[in-house]
Amino acid sequence: MLLSLVLHTYSMRYFLPAAVMMGTAPTYVLAWGAWRLLSALLPARFYREVDDRLYTIYQSMVLFFFENYTGVQVIIYGDLPKNKENVIYLSNHQCTVDWIIADMLAIRQNALGHVRYVLKDGLKWLPLYGWYFSQHGGVYVKRSAKFNEKEMREKLRTQMKAETSMYLVIFPEGTRYNPEIPKVIADSQLFAEKEGLAILKHVLTPRVKATHVAIDTMKDYLDAVYDVTVAYEGTVDHKGQRKLAPSMTGFHCREKLSAGSARFLPALLAWAAHGVVAAPGWVLPQCWGAGFWGRLCLLSAANLAFPPQHPGLCGKQCLNPRHHTGRARVLGGRG
C-alpha cells in the first residue's frame, strides 16, 4: 500500500512545477503591468530592457523545473556564438515541450529574455499567457487565406525600429506532428502530392507564409537563422515506427519518456544553401524531410535573402554579408 502510494506520488510529480508556474504567473503579470505604467513616459528601449529582464526571471524558473527538477540530460554539440544575435529559430513541432527547447538554447546564449514567438491565432485566448506573449513582441497569425501579412510586417518593423533584440521562434508546420492522429499526416502528404512536392515522412508539409514574411522583413536586421531539428529519445519503436513525443507532463514523469534515461537530443543545425522548390504561395526546400537525424532542413532562408553567389566561408550562407566571417555556424547534429 505504501509502495503504491509512493509510486503514485512520483508519477504525479508534475503537479509541483505546474502549480508554481501557474501560481506565479499572476504576480509576474502584475509586476509587468506596474512597470508598463511607470515606463509609459520613458523611451521604448527602457521598457523593453526591463520587460526582457522580467521575462528572463520567469522563464529561468520554468527551465529550472525542466532541466534540474526532471533530471533530463541536455546535449548540445558545437560552440555557441559568443555575441548576442538577432535570429529566427525554425524548428519541427512535435509536442508542448518544443518551446522549452528553444529556451534551453537561448539561455546558453544569454538571450532568454529576447525569445518571442510566432503563434497560431487561437493561442491568444490562453489566460494571462496569451495576452502577454503579444505584449512581449510575439506575433499571432491565422492560417491560409486569413493570414494577415501586412499586420505581421508592421509588428516586426515596429520591433526593429525600437532596436528590439530578436530571438523569434517559429514552428512552420503550424500544428504538431502526432503519429496518433494519422489523418493530419495523411492530409499533409496529400497536399504535398497535389502540389508536386516531396512527400515527407517525419514532419508535416510546412506552412511557410509567416516564415517567409519574417525573413523577408528582417533580412537586414538578422544575424542568423537557426534551422533546428528536435528528436526525442524513445519516440521510435522496435519496428522503426514513430511514437508520440513526450508532453510537458511526460517530462516530469521520467518513466514515460523511455525505458532508459530521460534524454532528448536536439540536432541544431545552421542553415546552408539547399535547392528550393517553388509552389504557388510556398517556398519549400528539397531536403525538408530528407532525414530524421540532422539532415532535416526546414527552409532555405539564404535563397530567400540572397542569390547563391553570396555564400559565406565553409559553404555556409548568412543573411547579412558583413557576417561572412567563416566562424562555425553549425551548432550540432549528425550531418
> What DSSP line would sit under 226-288, residue for residue?
EEEEEEETT-B-TTS-B-PPP-HHHHHSGGGT-SS--EEEEEEEE-B---EEEETTEEEETTT
Q: Which residues contact 234 (CB under 8 A, 6 or more apart)?
A: 243, 246, 257, 258, 259, 260
Average model confidence (pLDDT) across the chain: 70
What are the cell numbers at 72? 533530463
- Per-residue confidence at 248, pLDDT binned at 50, 70, 90? low
Selected residue with higher pLDDT from 166 and 265 = 166
What are the cell numbers at 89? 529559430
**CB-based contact 295:206 (threshold 8 Å):** no
- Per-residue confidence at 213, pLDDT binned at 50, 70, 90? very high
Say what the pLDDT of residue 177 is.
83
Angle at 287 between CA 285 and CA 290, to 5 degrees: 145
DSSP 8-state code for residue 223: S
pLDDT tens per residue, range 87-100: 999 988 888 788 88
pLDDT for 7 beyond 70? no
Partners of 317 in the beta sheet?
311
Say what the pLDDT of residue 138 is.
92
**CB-based contact 283:208 (threshold 8 Å):** yes
**CB-based contact 298:288 (threshold 8 Å):** yes
- What is the separation, in whole angstroms, between the first and last Cα of the chain? 50
pLDDT for 118 beyond 90? yes
- Report d(CA 76, CA 80) in Å as an integer: 9
Selected residue with higher pLDDT from 235 and 185 = 185
Say what the pLDDT of residue 170 is.
93
pLDDT for 40 beyond 80? yes
Q: Which of 154-168, 170-184, 294-308 has the lowest mean pLDDT?
A: 294-308
What are the cell numbers at 281? 504561395
Q: Which amino acid is at 1?
A: M
pLDDT for 168 beyond 90? yes
pLDDT tens per residue, range 296-324: 333 333 322 322 333 332 233 333 333 33
Residue range 33-43: mean pLDDT, rounded: 89
Say what the pLDDT of residue 229 is.
78
Say what the pLDDT of residue 55 is.
94
What share of the chain has pLDDT > 70, as a percent? 62
Most confident of 58-72, 183-197, 301-315: 183-197
Q: Model-level pTM?
A: 0.70
pLDDT for 282 beyond 80? no
